[in-house]
Structure 1
Amino acid sequence: MNKLHDVDLKLLRVFAAIVKCGGFSAAQAALNLGQSTISEQMSQLESRLGVKLCQRGRSGFRLTEQGMAIYESTQRLLLAVDSFCQDADVLKQHITGKLNLGIIDSTISDPASPLPKTTQRFVSRGHDVHLNVYVGSPAELEERVLDGRLHLAIGHFPIHVSGLDYLPLYQEALGLFCGRRHPLFGSKAERAELMEEITENRIVVRGYMEQYDLEHLGVSKAAATVDNIEALAILVISGAYLGFLPVHFAAQWVNTGAMQQLAPVSMSLMSPFDVITRRGVPAPPILRVFLEDLATSAGQETHG
């Protein structure tokens, strides 16, 4: 055999199945072929190879010496062909369509967020995809994932909603901040001393984290409520309020002297971020690939 053709691969697969099953009769069910067809195809293969592959008759089925050598070569060949086909399927996979992603606001400056690396990794695959990105509050993101308007969302979700799957992704560092015009600006006090002064000041809280924020500050009610971080920063910068802000987001004003983090050692918090998807709904290929890249990027962030 000087050249290998498609028909030869087909015949070699028949031969391999016969050997595996232990004979022509036993191979009929595995190949879904009649015995006469199997015999004819084996004759074709022996003719193509120019050797006798097996003995069959009353004494049973057995391979010739040449047949054993061809069978071993056939196993290596078919394994290589199957491996090639699997690799080719991965390479030719072409993901198309729209991916609808939801995120909460003001996370762009967080070095712990895996989203920038995920996006770069995802688009570098060469997929013909269109990204739709929606920025909203945790409650809005949950609602949109539930009704199918978003494929997934990334954010802080303190109360888990039925019908959604929540997968831990990373943690965001929070600190207590005041503006330059606030009476506590310049204070070096830590938690024990600071707690007494906090009760005398106006507190702004995130609406979706109100009880969490109030409990950590030891106060019973807030003087202002917001549904996004930018609004909270505006009130803190005014000098009229204290509030928890992401450390990475507040850094731009801390560096200019417009804000100060109070009691950074004892009043710091970690806010868990999850990725949410709709429970019980098969993920389309475009979502599966993005989630794989997200998991890979999150692992890279965790390990350095």
Structure 2
Amino acid sequence: YLQACIKEAFRLHPPVPLLLPHMAMVASSPEAAMQVLKTKDHLLSSRVVPTSVKHAHLLPHSLMWSECNQTWKTLRTLCRTELFSSKALEAQSRLRKEKISQMLHFLLKKQGEVVNIEEVIFTTLFNTLSSIILGKDLLVLNDEHGAQDGLKDLIRRILELSGSTFDLASFYPMLGRFDLHGISRESMKLFEKLFSYWEDIIEERRAQVNSSAWSSNQAHSFLDRLLENRFSNNQINQLLAVRIVYTRNKHYNLYRRRMCPGLPSGVVSVELILASLIHEFNWALPNDK
């Protein structure tokens, strides 16, 4: 009955009615859907760029925040081919299983102890992503002294500035250039610190890619492909900042451009981790509760 009522309502109204209070549009005909998804997609798929990323060093080669121009389309094609195609996902399966094995081995050694499973899963997913993109882990599971808390806190603070921090310029764009809340200044400092975590990795791989002994068959990470295409450090930083920081945000659906292209990879990783955890261990709460 509800479906019939909705269908009748759309029949009596324009093909693209505006639903309040959430300002949602519904394309109720094939013709209207074609306008939304193809003809006018450039306008309707746009989004407001947060003050925290409005920097010349972050925007031009950012898949998430840059303009939908030829550069963006080239980057999208490269990411789709090297990261999100069926062939790429299949090639990454060995690495995902390797990271799961490392996680299970770590938990076996912690048998009988209390573990922060959220941190373990986060580290596993983060290292899976960094290995696919950089060819190297950025975190370690056995971080007893909190040596890597700096990187985690850095990422969390960047996400806070991008989404949940109040910014008057969001309501009055004319005030954006004054940076009244210091969001732009702080975020740029945070991004510079973040880039330093993989700066040495980029230089090391660049030296190998530029050597006469290099062959395209030796490429085993997304970074290698970027270097083969002569991307500069600044261009690589712009891409990696989005791939590594924002794809682990629980509010990523608010930032995505249409559908997140990395969704299949994320679904596979999460399902594999949960299945392995449930199958391998008998779980108990602290103090036998």
TM-score (norm 1): 0.19
Query: Which gives a bigger RCO, structure 1 or 2 (Cα 8 Å, sep 6+)?
Result: 2
Over alpha carbons, which structure has the higher Rg?
A: 1
| Larger strand proportion of the pair | 1
Structure 1 or 2: more helix by fraction: 2
TM-score (norm. length: structure 2): 0.20
